[in-house]
A and B are shown apart, each in its own frame.
Chain A
């Protein structure tokens, strides 16, 4: 992992951030480096290390955020990664280590601290969440702690940025401690330190704590979860629609369209270049969805139809992540998930998959066993439509009414359940029991949240627009060369016979390999009946992942599991599509 460094990097000394999961390492990292980084309030998010730079007194340092770990005797994949990174860092020599501690859980955090001290490395301790100690009646004498452990101790509050400057100024003073302890007496020593250094005063339960308990109790937790999810979907819908109606559509119709009309006129309304750039005129006019020009459909679909929902989705998701709600959801769903061979936190790749299947596939890394990864990845790819696709489906089904959309999602949900049950029965391996920390509710660090949102939106634009443009171009060419017609004729026994769709729909299926949103867009001019629209939407979600997702899944699952997964998707699609064709 550390092998692929630029030659220039070898010259910089490194600063490593190491600590328990959920101690605010990513926020501290963000404060130190000013670099974009994803920080979310659930354990196991950072499964790879994150790297940035800082300049102290004219010297440039590399800053590396190691995945959270509770102990240096690893009990999970993420911890193995952390320990390996740490050992490499120590071997390199000449590096500085910041141990970031959750001040409200000092006793447990000291477990890792003592283990780090034993490694005799230059260490500095950062007592984070310092502000929270006041609210929880905890008093820590940081000077005493510094004296006992023999390393500098700096209390910080990552959210407000308090004392970060002090942390930076003391970095070069990181010391190798001479503190000793024997393995068997580690916890006794920790207990003694706690006695010397920490005093607890009583305080009443805060509202946050009552909410914390209520949201995880079965009886209150499940209604709360339903309300949270319902409000989330509603918020996404409202924000998405508003952005389209009040911002993007007016932008395209009032500013871009006149320009395109002028261009169209200049190109004499026809010809090869015109068709590539502007597309075909529908009833003598430019139609942003159907014309299939690079400058028309190629820009309108990703920017005015999909981007608003991407923005809305990630905004809401970031709040759910950073507030700490998702682990609770994982606990509530754990029993349910185990029926499909999954751990409760497998809800996270599923939720991420609603935004985009690519991060959904990447998120399967937080699952421990091969069986869980395989089932989670397959279920996500087969039954979770991405926001790009959904945005287009909302547009497509607007005229058919709400029950059309509900039908599509209902079918996909049933597919998820049945496929999950079957996969669980036939996949060998284990799904370990849940055993994880549930962090307290914290109000999200808004600058970090906005940075994360911006990164995700930017990523979408960078990834989607080139593929959309490519897809539009290919579709255009394939139609011009009548290749789509040809494929349509060959595939018609399946497309029309089994699935009940017009043979022109094959164009959508071909493009769906590249981009699912463009594929849905191609269904619009076909004038499908509601039944056909439902079948087409379901089939497009299920049959095959888009190329970006396919590449990631291939890397995550390996070739054997990828082939199995793909076969399952194709067979399931034909089965479900055929059944829908018969019964609707």
Chain B
């Protein structure tokens, strides 16, 4: 088990959210899209040149800007 941020995950990798480093604003937004500590997610893809990252949360997919992915931490195998 190691902890990395979303930008470091590989496509297709699964993990559990362990920390979200940010102020109130980001937490409300991430929570309302179902991204919370303890939730299992799967990284679907990332775009070239530090583009957005797409993850799967439950039955939804969410696109997250690169800067934000560095603030969301995940525990992976």
| A, B assembled together | yes
Contact partners of B36 in chain A: CB under 8 A: 187
Q: When the two chains form their complex, are residues A436 and B63 in contact, meaning their CB atoms are under 8 A apart?
A: yes
| Residue B49 CB within 8 A of the other chain | yes
Select from chain A the residue with minimum beta-carbon distance to B57. Answer: A108
**Which residues between 53 and 97 of chain A lie within 8 Å of chain B, taking CB atoms?**
70-71, 73, 75
Q: When the two chains form their complex, are residues A217 and B60 in contact, meaning their CB atoms are under 8 A apart?
A: no
| Residue A332 CB within 8 A of the other chain | yes
Select from chain B the residue with minimum beta-carbon distance to A194. Answer: B58
Q: When the two chains form their complex, are residues B68 and A435 in contact, meaning their CB atoms are under 8 A apart?
A: yes
Q: When the two chains form their complex, are residues B58 and A73 in contact, meaning their CB atoms are under 8 A apart?
A: no
Q: When the two chains form their complex, are residues B52 and A437 in contact, meaning their CB atoms are under 8 A apart?
A: no
Complex Cα distance, B57 from A221, in Å, reads 20
Q: When the two chains form their complex, are residues A437 and B60 in contact, meaning their CB atoms are under 8 A apart?
A: yes
Complex Cα distance, B51 from A332, in Å, reads 8
**Which residues between 53 and 77 of chain B lie within 8 Å of chain A, taking CB atoms?**
54, 57-68
| Residue A434 CB within 8 A of the other chain | yes
Q: When the two chains form their complex, are residues A108 and B34 in contact, meaning their CB atoms are under 8 A apart?
A: yes
Q: When the two chains form their complex, are residues B33 and A108 in contact, meaning their CB atoms are under 8 A apart?
A: yes
Contact partners of A107 in chain B: CB under 8 A: 34, 58
Complex Cα distance, B34 from A93, in Å, reads 31
* Contact residue among B46, B48, B61 (Cβ-Cβ distance under 8 Å from A212): B61
| Residue B11 CB within 8 A of the other chain | yes
Interface of B is mostly: mixed
Interface string of A426-442 (1 = CB under 8 A from B): 00000011111110100
Least CB distance from B20 to A in Å reads 12
Contact partners of B54 in chain A: CB under 8 A: 216, 331, 438
Q: When the two chains form their complex, are residues B52 and A334 in contact, meaning their CB atoms are under 8 A apart?
A: yes
Q: When the two chains form their complex, are residues A437 and B44 in contact, meaning their CB atoms are under 8 A apart?
A: no
Complex Cα distance, B66 from A202, in Å, reads 32
Interface string of B20-41 (1 = CB under 8 A from A): 0000010011011110100000
| Residue B14 CB within 8 A of the other chain | no
Contact partners of B44 in chain A: CB under 8 A: 213, 216-217
Complex Cα distance, B34 from A188, in Å, reads 13
Q: When the two chains form their complex, are residues B61 and A437 in contact, meaning their CB atoms are under 8 A apart?
A: yes
Least CB distance from B26 to A in Å reads 9
* Known A-B contacts A70-B32, A105-B58, A108-B33; A218 and B66 likewise in contact (beta carbons under 8 Å): no
| Residue A397 CB within 8 A of the other chain | no
| Residue A344 CB within 8 A of the other chain | yes
| Residue A111 CB within 8 A of the other chain | yes
Q: When the two chains form their complex, are residues A218 and B48 in contact, meaning their CB atoms are under 8 A apart?
A: yes
Q: When the two chains form their complex, are residues B51 and A218 in contact, meaning their CB atoms are under 8 A apart?
A: yes
Q: When the two chains form their complex, are residues B58 and A335 in contact, meaning their CB atoms are under 8 A apart?
A: no
Contact partners of B47 in chain A: CB under 8 A: 218, 331-332, 334-335
Contact partners of A71 in chain B: CB under 8 A: 28, 31-32
Contact partners of B11 in chain A: CB under 8 A: 217
Q: When the two chains form their complex, are residues B65 and A434 in contact, meaning their CB atoms are under 8 A apart?
A: yes
Select from chain A the residue with minimum beta-carbon distance to B55. Answer: A438
* Contact residue among B28, B57, B61, B63 (Cβ-Cβ distance under 8 Å from A75): B28
Contact partners of A218 in chain B: CB under 8 A: 45-48, 51
* Known A-B contacts A75-B25, A433-B68, A437-B62; A213 and B34 likewise in contact (beta carbons under 8 Å): no
Select from chain A the residue with minimum beta-carbon distance to B69. Answer: A433
Q: When the two chains form their complex, are residues A335 and B50 in contact, meaning their CB atoms are under 8 A apart?
A: yes
Least CB distance from A322 to B in Å reads 18
Q: When the two chains form their complex, are residues A105 and B60 in contact, meaning their CB atoms are under 8 A apart?
A: yes
Mark A residues whose CB is within 8 Å of B: 70-71, 73, 75, 104-105, 107-108, 111-112, 136, 138, 187, 212-213, 216-218, 221, 327, 330-332, 334-335, 344, 432-438, 440
What 10 A-B pairs have minimum CB-CB distances, sorted nearest first? Answer: A433-B65, A70-B32, A108-B34, A335-B51, A71-B32, A438-B61, A217-B45, A331-B63, A104-B59, A75-B29
List 8 A–B pairs whose Cβ atoms lie within 8 Å, in order of A's numbering.
Answer: A107-B58, A216-B44, A216-B61, A218-B45, A334-B65, A335-B48, A435-B68, A437-B63
